[in-house]
Structure 1
Amino acid sequence: MIVNFDSHPKNSIIYTTSIILSYLKANDGIANFEDLYKYCMDSKMDYSIFILTIDWMYLVGLVEEINNRNELVLCN
């Protein structure tokens, strides 16, 4: 997926990662995936960018997993 970040800077991975990280840190590093999704949609984030950001955060080691309770867990 190619995204033109110059015309839509709010669709950049760095910006969307900051939104998700701030939410995770405010919730002690654990967030219910559905609640996080609703929070990001309230921030006018596209679904595809949301999923891409979660994938990228996992690949670079910012989040550990989505556990069996459907929670996204921040790495220590």
Structure 2
Amino acid sequence: MLLPDNIHPTLSIYYNGSVVIKVLKLKAKQQVFELYQEVKDRNDMSFSTFMLTLDWLYLIDVATVNEDGWVELCS
């Protein structure tokens, strides 16, 4: 759910997207699992939530994932 009304806000895709973006701003290009590990260290995010967040960031043209598994911010 993007904007939840019955759960804690830190469980929303908006919040988790901001965590992923912050990590990507520190290192602009990362492998998917490396990025997940860094995000998990900052925020206790499940892998399924992480993948849903990456999907959302891709859909709104904030991040891309190439065939080799590298995630980077769009310019």
Contact 1:57 1:63 in 2 (8 A): yes
Overall identity of the aligned pairs, in %: 33
Contact 1:5 1:11 in 2 (8 A): no
- Secondary structure at the aligned position of 2:16 is classed as helix
Task: Map 1:1-76 onto structure 2 (within 5 A).
Answer: 4=4, 6-27=6-27, 29-42=28-41, 43-64=43-64, 66-76=65-75
Partner Cα distance (2:61, 2:49) in 1: 18
- Unaligned 5+ runs, structure 1: none
Q: How many residues align?
A: 74
Partner Cα distance (1:36, 1:75) in 2: 16
- TM-score normalized by the length of structure 2: 0.80
The alpha-carbon distance between structure 1 residues 11 and 26, as it changes in their structure 2 partners (threshold 3 A), is: same
Contact 2:23 2:35 in 1 (8 A): yes
- Unaligned 5+ runs, structure 2: none
The alpha-carbon distance between structure 1 residues 48 and 21, as it changes in their structure 2 partners (threshold 3 A), is: same
After the TM superposition, which segments of 4 or more aligned residues of structure 1 sit over 3 Å from their partners?
A: 3-6
Partner Cα distance (1:4, 1:15) in 2: 11
